[in-house]
């Protein structure tokens, strides 16, 4: 996540701040890849070559190991997913310092600017946790007035928001705190900007074809779903929200004969999957407009490690 330079706000001097800010994206880990070892009859030698304990019956020829790996970089942000990151304000006064400063009323605020909006949207980050370097997590009872950070303590918050459009997003994080000494006190504030790009994970192409019928209007809706992301995804559900006066029937993997097990389709990067729906009008009537809106399509999926995605398509109709 690229950080943009921003001038300090309400800062009376250029001396270093006593509070630092760390922003880290929260991502799901992935299974680490191992290099399979040659077959050996000596089980002790094979088991000792791993960085984690394994039973003697462990299959070391499989390329995926039980270990989890965190993303080495920011990675990709996709439309339809939930962006999550942790905001951490740390008291940077060194233990044993003779400065005699205390840090009070620490508050963190965040807002995001999307490509289609010129005004940033304030994010809800009311929940907060207070951490100490000695005792770990401890209770935080202060809400509106901020919190007091002793030496070595940190204030941590988690912010989440839905990614609904592609393009550059800017996350703005502001930290305000009160710096008190034996003879004076002041309020200091600084802000940091983080820019990241969001792109489409799924591309959907649809067409509607009218079916011959003498009784009522009927259509076939065909859609091609393409995985444009970098990881394998599993389609959980594709459904239509029909408008008043219409009914629809799915002709996809969710329709299985009795006694059969439903298997959700899996799409590798670049794969295309086609779905089809049968649409029917409740009663035949003359169309007043040249174009009539029939349904809205919604798509749900999960990534390789269970991360959720949701996408709603623009209304589909006939000409």
Q: Residue 190 in contact with residue 183, Cβ under 8 Å?
A: no
CA 21 → CA 75, 155, 193, 236, distances in Å? 21, 10, 11, 38
Tokens standing for residue 200: 């489409």
Q: Could you tell me the pTM of the whole model?
A: 0.72
Q: How far apart are CA 204 and CA 102, in angstroms?
A: 56
User: Which residue, chain included where needed, has tokens 């029939």?
Assistant: 294
Q: How far is CA 66 from the centre of its chain?
A: 24
CA 4 → CA 9, 19, 256, distances in Å? 15, 19, 52
CA 126 → CA 172, 209, 307, distances in Å? 16, 50, 24
Q: Does domain 202-317 have CATH number 2.60.40.1230?
A: yes
What would you report as the CA-atom Rg of the chain, rounded to the nearest whole angstrom? 28
- Element (DSSP H or E) covering residue 145: none
Q: What is the pLDDT of residue 174?
A: 93
Say whether 202-317 and 19-26+74-127+144-200 share the same fold. Answer: yes
Q: What is the pLDDT of residues 166-217, one digit of tens each?
A: 999 999 999 999 988 877 888 999 999 999 889 998 998 988 888 887 666 7
Q: Residue 252 in contact with residue 239, Cβ under 8 Å?
A: no
User: Which residue, chain included where needed, has tokens 């994080």?
Assistant: 173
Q: What dihedral do alpha carbons 33, 37, 39, 43 form, nearest 10°?
A: -90
Q: How far is CA 13 from the centre of its chain?
A: 38
| Bigger pLDDT: 264 vs 282 | 264
Q: What is the pLDDT of residue 12?
A: 47
Q: How far apart are CA 120 and CA 238, in angstroms?
A: 32
Q: What is the pLDDT of residue 97?
A: 75
- Indicate whether 128 pLDDT > 90: no
Q: What angle do CA 209, 214, 220 make, to 5 degrees?
A: 20
Q: What is the pLDDT of residue 100?
A: 78
Kindly list the domain boundaries of the chain, sorted by start residue. Answer: 19-26+74-127+144-200, 202-317
Residues 86-94, mean pLDDT to the nearest whole number: 89
Q: What is the pLDDT of residues 213-259, one digit of tens each?
A: 766 678 888 999 999 988 889 999 888 887 667 788 888 887 777 77
Q: Residue 201 in contact with residue 229, Cβ under 8 Å?
A: yes
- Indicate whether 273 pLDDT > 90: yes
Q: What is the pLDDT of residue 52?
A: 62
Q: What is the pLDDT of residues 44-68, one digit of tens each?
A: 555 565 666 666 555 556 667 777 7
Instruction: Classify residue 231 by its DSSP letter.
Output: S
Q: Residue 195 in contact with residue 115, Cβ under 8 Å?
A: no
CA 241 → CA 138, 155, 198, 270, 287, distances in Å? 47, 43, 27, 27, 20
Q: Residue 244 in contact with residue 285, Cβ under 8 Å?
A: no
Mean pLDDT across the chain, nearest whole number?
78
Q: How far apart are CA 47 and CA 229, in angstroms?
A: 36
Q: How far is CA 89 from the centre of its chain?
A: 22
Q: What is the pLDDT of residue 287?
A: 52
Highest mean pLDDT out of 43-52, 54-63, 68-77, 275-284: 275-284
Q: How far apart are CA 159 and CA 141, in angstroms?
A: 19
- Indicate whether 10 pLDDT > 60: no
Highest mean pLDDT out of 114-123, 139-148, 178-187: 114-123
For the domain 19-26+74-127+144-200, what is the CATH superfamily, name and number?
Immunoglobulins (2.60.40.10)
Mode of pairing for the β-strands spanning 185-199 and 77-78: parallel
Q: What is the pLDDT of residue 224?
A: 92
């Amino acid at each position: 996540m690229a950080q943009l330079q921003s001038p300090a706000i309400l800062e009376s001097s250029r001396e270093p701040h006593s509070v630092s800010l760390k922003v880290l994206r929260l991502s799901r880990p992935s299974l680490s890849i191992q290099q399979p070892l040659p077959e050996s009859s000596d089980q002790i030698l094979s088991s000792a070559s791993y960085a984690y304990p394994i039973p003697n019956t462990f299959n070391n020829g499989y390329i995926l190991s039980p270990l989890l790996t965190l993303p080495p970089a920011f990675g990709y942000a996709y439309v339809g997913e939930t962006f999550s990151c942790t905001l951490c304000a740390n008291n940077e006064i060194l233990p044993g310092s003779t400065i005699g400063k205390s840090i009070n009323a620490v508050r963190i605020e965040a807002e995001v600017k999307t490509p289609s909006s010129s005004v940033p949207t304030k994010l809800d980050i009311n929940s907060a946790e207070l951490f100490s370097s000695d005792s770990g997590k401890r209770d935080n009872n202060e809400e509106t007035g901020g919190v007091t950070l002793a030496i070595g303590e940190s204030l941590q918050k988690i912010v989440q928001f839905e990614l609904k459009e592609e393009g550059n997003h800017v996350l703005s994080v502001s930290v305000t705190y009160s710096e008190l000494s034996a003879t004076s006190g002041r309020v200091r504030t600084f802000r940091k900007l983080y820019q990241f790009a969001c792109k489409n994970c799924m591309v959907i192409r649809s067409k509607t074809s009218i079916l011959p019928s003498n009784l009522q209007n009927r259509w076939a809706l065909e859609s091609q779903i393409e995985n444009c992301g970098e990881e394998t995804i599993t389609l959980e559900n594709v459904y239509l929200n029909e408008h008043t006066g219409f009914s629809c029937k799915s002709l996809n993997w969710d329709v299985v004969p009795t006694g059969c097990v439903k298997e959700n389709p899996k799409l590798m990067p670049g794969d295309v999957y086609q779905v089809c729906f049968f649409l029917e009008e409740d009663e035949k009537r003359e169309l007043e407009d040249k174009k009539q809106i029939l349904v809205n399509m919604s798509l749900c999926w999960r990534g390789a490690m269970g991360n959720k995605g949701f996408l709603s398509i623009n209304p589909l109709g006939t000409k």
